[in-house]
Structure 1
Amino acid sequence: MSSLTDRYLAATLNSVPAQRRDEIAAELRGSIEDMIEDRTGNGQDPVAAEREVLTELGNPERLAARYANHRLQLIGPTYYLVWRRLLRLLLSFVPAIVGTVVAVVDVADGESIGGAIGTGIGTAIEVAVQIAFWITLTFAIFERVSPAVNLPDWNVDNLADVPVNRQVTLADTIASVVAITVFIGYLVLQHFRSWVETGDGANIPIIDPALWTSWLPVLIAVLVVSMVFEVVKYRVGQWTWPLLAGKVLLNLAFAVPALWLLVTDRLLSPAFVERFEWLSTGDNLDTVASISVVSVAAILIRDTVDSARKIRRHNA
């Protein structure tokens, strides 16, 4: 457990320009230590003196804004931090979910894939704009109608622990999100350009086109939720048992339907199977399905065990 001063410094420096963090950290730590020393010199308990000094300095986000010369006055200082926190939270997942649902519904209604994706993106942008407008308007009204509202006071118990070495890095998160995005993109692209062609150069989809009105939109929706999960996992910073449970459920939500479609010969398009004659020869397709099931199961089990070990090491 870190000291209150270390936690206060970490919370403050998180919101100041990176190039000034060392300077501000040294200045602020020195000021805090001097203020604590003044109180302990008069006989006050060091622990109580530290709490009083940090409480007197106030919310570290407001202190950071003063150091960075940021004015917390878009809608007024009373509600600014609450407004910003709520807006960030809603924009992090609501537009993506609504856009995905709209796209899936359009595909199910017979719209073209490209048209459905365009509609979904447009809807997500519109939802983001609406959220930003109405949340800002609501808080602006509150600021003027009830400027003296009694919001909970900040105190040192609100400080988070100083971040330790993260199990979930930004690079890993970006790589996972990019990989999922590329995979979703190819699921859509292969319908038009899979790089598998007939003798006369016509495109052959790898996935059965009939699945666009049934399972494919569902699988893509699971992948989109998986991207949101990766962002949430990064924000938490460490593997936890609830995160592991969510990851297992998402893996199963994608793998079970996909493997079931493969085992029942419904995943691959008939034209693709015919293009590679060895797939339709004897039990070759069943062999491919069996190998895929075993391979995917082994990968999922390995990832689950690896994540569980990380949780145990973190909790040890």
Structure 2
Amino acid sequence: MTLSAAGILMVADRITILLILIAVGYLAFRLSILDRQATHKLSLLLLHVTIPALIIVSMQIPASPELLSGAVVFCLAIGVFYLLAATVAYIGTLLLRMEDRERGVFSFAILFGNVGFMGFPITETLFGTASLFYVALGNLVFNLLVFSAGIVMMTGRYEFNPRLLINPGIAASYIGLTLFLLGLRIPSPLFDAMELTGNLTTPLAMIIVGSLLATFPAKEMIGDLKTYLATGLRLIVLPAATYLLLAPLIDDPLVLGVIVILAAMPVASTTAIFAEIYGGDERFASRLVFISMISSIISIPLIGAFLI
């Protein structure tokens, strides 16, 4: 089966929105509306306020036996995916000569795709509203890993410190999961306020990425071998390998489709944010976000056409 032309255009439209928001951040920096200090403060607001709100809100969905059963399969499968991604990232760092600050960014970019803003609308476009629960669950796993292993990658401190788990992102993940399992709903005024706050995450993250892109010459956006290798691994190799590995093991086409599409997401915008905050190479990180996002305009609709 093939994805309709309207579906392909809808997927491309969501990605184009992100690119426009990046352009807004780029122009804001160039016009001196933003500077490095303002960008850093916005990054802290994103990590400590808007992302935690988004995590909790995304888990405010009704539970059912079918969802819980599918969740078990999904969690096992997504664990396999992250092990696969970690292996691919490790091999990539061995093949290329990179500085320590680049190595952390490269590994982070391979492991973590933009499964939040892009994951929800794209999977809904391809598979319908039934897919959103699994995307929310995937975001929970993503946040547990990005705020623990992701920080370790960026800081280069490979002796794991349990205190890395004490942060707003992890706390929000635990709160969201607890509320989901207990079937508790956040009262309307508070929920609405949290939802509005969480909705700031996507535009804020893209504007920050654009601002970071504006800090170096435009010609550097083109990237280098490392940029294109990471993009190819992220957009083509990972989803293809995920499908080949999991297709014989998963009977539910919805669960398999969601995992493969999440595996095909471009580099997470938080790659640039984390690099800026935790001492990674933010220029390399911003190029990875930019190049992979542009490339995904073609790759995601094609992968979606294969899956549907």
| TM-score, normalised via structure 1 length | 0.23
Structure number with greater Rg is 1
Question: Could you say which structure has the greater relative contact order, defined with CA pairs below 8 angstroms and 6 or more residues apart?
Answer: 2
Q: Which structure shows the higher helix fraction?
A: 2
